[in-house]
Amino acid sequence: MTTTGGGILPKRKSGGDGFYYLLAAMLGALAGWLDIKVGDLLLTAMAVLAACMLLGILSPRRPWRWVLLVGVFVPVVEWLAYFFLSQKPDRAQIYESFLAFVPGIAGAFGGAMGRGVVDNLFAGK
């Protein structure tokens, strides 16, 4: 049995993923800011889920990198707010910001799998 090299994931584009990395950093910082201003972990989790799902759809190769990039900005922004802003999040809020990785995993891998399904359904033969 031979394979022709066609896989589930689409072929890599000629350009890099620099734009997607920048988008991930901006969406992660936005989710962290949202966590500070609103203080609701569920809303932050939904923002991280949506950001990772969008990035998983746009660039489905190695979706774990979107989880790391978006998810790491939530605790980093909390830490920066603790040291530089007058509004101090409490200790529990800083620790619960690490929970943003959980919906990020579901969003990034779900978006990548959804992109694969759509590409397979509408593939030209």
What rounded mean pLDDT belongs to the chain? Answer: 85
Could you tell me if residue 33 is inside a domain? yes
Sorting pLDDT into bands at 50, 70 and 90, what band is 125?
A: low
- CA-to-CA distance for 70 and 73, rounded, in angstroms? 6
Could you give the CA distance from residue 69 to residue 87 in angstroms, rounded to a whole number? Answer: 25
86 falls in which pLDDT band (50, 70, 90)? confident
Q: Looking at the domain assignment, is residue 10 inside a domain?
A: no
Q: Are 24 and 68 in contact (CB under 8 A)?
A: no
- Residue with the bigger pLDDT between 117 and 94: it is 117
Per the structure, the complete domain to which residue 62 belongs is given by: 18-120
Asked if the structure places residue 41 within a domain, the reply is: yes
Longest dimension (CA), the chain: 65
Joined tokens for residue 105 = 């995993």
> Using CA atoms, how far apart are residues 33 and 85, in angstroms rounded to an integer?
12
Please tell me the total count of domains within the chain: 1
* CB 98, CB 44: distance < 8 Å: no
| Higher pLDDT among residues 46 and 95, named by residue | 46
